[in-house]
Amino acid sequence: MKDNELFKFLNDELERQNNSIELIASENFASKEVRELCGSILTNKYAEGFPGKRYYGGCVNIDNIETRAIELVKKLFNANYACVQPHSGTQANMIAYYALLETGDKILSLSLDEGGHLSHGSKVSFSSKYYNVEFYHLNAFGRIDYEGLKKKALEYKPKLILAGFSAYPFEIDYKAIKEIANEVNAYFMVDMAHIAGLIAAKELNNPLKYADIVTSTTHKTLRGPRGGIILTNSEEIIKKVNKACFPALQGGPLENIIAAKAQCFYEALTDSYKEYIRNVKENTLACSNEFTRLGDINSGTENHLFLLNTIDSYKVNGKDAQELLEEIGITVNKNMLPNDKEKPSVTSGIRIGFAALTTRGATKFDAINIADIIHDYLLKNISKEEAKIRVKNIVKNLKKVEEI
């Protein structure tokens, strides 16, 4: 017996995904193998605790699966220790804070409007309620102001300095931040949720060489299921992390999702995945460069995303741009820009990423055409009908989502 109305909604979503151009930088399309494991019989099993130390019987196969996930992610990121149980990136961050900090301790991070994440100290997040958060900033070129970061750290004396962002299009100098952290005797934490796939493919530097603790999601550029992970090279820290994860903050792990995580780590170790990530960077750069050629203001990029200033380029705020583009089958998300004067619910721009569309086989020529469509439509150079036709001409050559 099934709820036919519910499955209709599911089919509607499949149609939407197949017939639209997905440019949300935090989304991707998981493989059939990952999806199969997400919906497997592993969802039936309770397994509180960790491999070899469970509070329930019947976990021998579960232990093998979770151990496999741990070993694969350690190999992927050259880490000594890993926790694969966090249910999401935000929960991974919560666990990391809980493991290393006391309530009221100081965190130094990048603010949401300059590319940080809600869980990095936003006033609407738990992180600002339980910890004292101060922010460092970007320079006039939209890059981290490392001198300013150092000055803030020396003044503020945080217990933890946080790097890794949700809307930062450039490489991060982990060595410089680690040196600052050492100078003020702070932990150095990296949230690599957005760029984990690029790090796995060695297209960006690995923060494990410098960071005390690294958190990530598994569903963005890693192309796995929705979930989180925590990595470290410190035995002392992983013990604290595991205790913070269970029993402090989470109950039974989602072993079906952990199995799917293991599959995505396995896929990320392949040569084909490395080629995929190279294509993601190529497509993102091609799209950004085309906007620049057209005279539109954007951040530029060194990874899988960039920010497009829609207020100054088209006299349209980010919220309206998002809604207008969705009407023609292009999905983006409104996003704050550095020193944004608009509210977070409105914003002055949008965030564009190519991890998802590249999974469907998009090329740099598609990326250039997409920039042209967005430019023409937001400037009202073409009608909605013409824009839809141009979108459809790109989509028809992409892989079907269910076939990935």
Q: CA-based angle 369:371:375, to the nearest 5?
A: 115
How far apart CA 43 and CA 255 sit, in angstroms, is 6
- pLDDT tens-digit profile, the chain (404 residues): 899 999 999 999 999 999 999 999 999 999 999 999 999 999 999 999 999 999 999 999 999 999 999 999 999 999 999 999 999 999 999 999 999 999 999 999 998 788 888 888 788 888 889 999 999 999 988 999 999 999 999 999 999 999 999 899 999 999 999 999 999 999 999 999 999 999 999 999 999 999 999 999 999 999 999 999 999 999 999 999 999 999 999 999 999 999 999 999 999 999 999 999 999 999 999 999 999 999 999 999 999 999 999 999 999 999 999 999 999 999 999 999 988 889 989 999 999 999 999 999 999 999 999 999 999 999 999 999 999 999 999 999 999 999 99
Among residues 155, 164, 93, which one has the least CA distance to residue 130?
93
State the pLDDT at residue 125: 85
- Tell me the backbone φ, ψ of residue 352, rounded to 5 degrees: -125, 130
Contacts 24+ apart (CB under 8 A), 310-317: 310/348, 310/349, 310/350, 310/378, 311/342, 311/348, 311/349, 312/348, 313/378, 314/378, 314/379, 316/378, 317/342, 317/346, 317/347, 317/348
How far apart CA 194 and CA 169 sit, in angstroms, is 10
- Tell me the backbone φ, ψ of residue 217, rounded to 5 degrees: -90, 175
Q: Where are the beta strands (DSSP E) in 253-378?
A: 305-309, 330-331, 333-335, 349-353
Tokens of 1: 């017996």
- Residue partners of 159: CB distance under 8 A and separation at least 6: 100, 101, 105, 106, 107, 186, 187
352: which strand partners? Answer: 306
Residue 21, helix vs strand vs coil: strand
CA dihedral 194, 195, 200, 205 (to 10 degrees): -150
Residue 275 CA from chain centroid, whole number: 19
Q: Which residues are catalytic?
A: 46, 48, 191, 217, 220, 226
Look up residue 290 and give its amino acid. Answer: E
How far apart CA 95 and CA 335 sit, in angstroms, is 26
State the pLDDT at residue 122: 80
Q: How many CB atoms lie within 10 A of CB 154?
A: 11
Tokens of 33: 């193998």
